[in-house]
Structure 1
C-alpha cells in the first residue's frame, strides 16, 4: 500500500525577526482556509508540522476537520540560512543552491539542511507507512527533501512555489512513485 505525503508550504506570514512565533498574515489565514478545503476529502490519517507557528497555523484547519492532533517535528523547520540577516536574500539562496557544501556563518549548507530534513522525512515514511499525511513545512526544506528523491526539484522549482503550496508525494515504501501539485 502506498504512502501519500501532502507537503504543505506555509501560507503568507507577517514578518518578525523571531522565526518560531511568526504568525500568518490576514491573507495567509484566508489561504489556510483554502488549504483545509483542498485537503478535507483526502482521507488524511495524520497531520504533522514544523514547530514554527506559520506552518502549524496553515495545517491546523486540516487537523481539526479530520479530528487529528498535530504532531510536531522539529526537523521540518525551515533551513537556517545565516545567523545574521543577509544583504541580498535571492543572491544568498542562489549561492547555497549552487554550492551545496557552502554555509553562511551560523547557517546550514544545502547538504546539512537536506540531511536533517530527509532523515526526519524517512522516519515519517516508516511511521505512517500506507497512510496519507499532511505535513506543514517551509519552501526551502520542502524542496531540499523533494530534491533528495528527484533532482528536478531544485532552485528554479523553489522560485516557482506559491505561498501556500501543496504537493502530494506518493511512495511505494521509500521509492517516490509520483508527485502531483494539489494547490489551485
Structure 2
C-alpha cells in the first residue's frame, strides 16, 4: 500500500510537487527489484503520478480503480473537517450529508486489496491517507486518527491479509 507522494492540493487533478515527483522516482527505485507484477491506483492525478515512474521502470500498466479514490467525508467543505475526521475513527458508521462513513470507505479499499491478494502476485496499490488508514485499522484496530496524522507523503506499508500484519516500510 502506497500513500501518494506530496501534491499541490487535495483536488482530484492536483499534480505532485517537485518533492513529490522526486519521491515518486525514489519509489520506482525501491520497487524495482521487488518482483511487482501489478499496479493499481486511485484515478486522482497525485496517485497516478506517484505510480507512473514505477510503472515505467517495470514496464507495467497502471490499472486505475475508482474504489481507491479519496474518501468523501462530507458533501460540502467544512471548516471543522479535522474534527469530523477524528470522530469518524470513533464511530465508524457515522455519515455526514453527502459523505460516506468509515465503514463504507473501508469496504471499498478492502475489496481492492482482497482482489489483488487473489492473484498471489506482488501488487502495488496507490491510494490516499484516510482510505489507507481505514484499511490498516481493519487489521490493527490501534491504527487510528493519531496514526493517520503521522503518515507522510509518500508512505509505504506491506499489508499481509492472511497473517493480519502491517509493516511500515522505511524508504530512507
**TM-score, length-normalised on structure 1?**
0.86
Q: Equivalents in 2 of 1:105, 1:170: separation in Å?
A: 34
Alpha-carbon distance in 2 for matches of 1:178, 1:114: 17
- Residue 49 of structure 2 corresponds to 57
2:129 corresponds, among 112, 118, 139, to: 139
Of 9, 32, 44, which aligns to 2:3? 9
Deviation at 1:179, TM superposition (A): 2.4
- Give me the whole-angstrom Cα distance separating, in 1, the residues matched to 2:130 and 2:164: 22
- Shift in Å, 1:177: 4.8
Spell out, residue by residue over 1:125-144, the C-alpha distance to the aligned partner (whole angstroms, 9 max, x if none). Answer: 22x22x11111111111111
Q: Does 1:161 align with 2:155?
A: no
How many residues end up aligned between the 2 structures? 171
1:34 deviates by 1.5
Q: Secondary structure at the match of 2:109?
A: helix
Greater RCO (CA < 8 Å, at least 6 residues apart): 1
CA distance in 1, matches of 2:146, 2:30: 25
Whether contact under 8 Å (1:10, 1:138) holds in the other structure is: yes
Residues 32, 61 of structure 1: 8 Å contact kept:
yes
Gaps of 5+ in 2: none
Structure 1 unaligned runs (5+)?
1-6
The runs of 4+ residues in structure 1 deviating greater than 6 Å are none
The answer (yes or no) to whether the contact 1:49–1:71 under 8 Å persists in 2 is yes
TM-score (norm 2): 0.92
Higher strand share: 1
**Corresponding position of 1:176:** 163
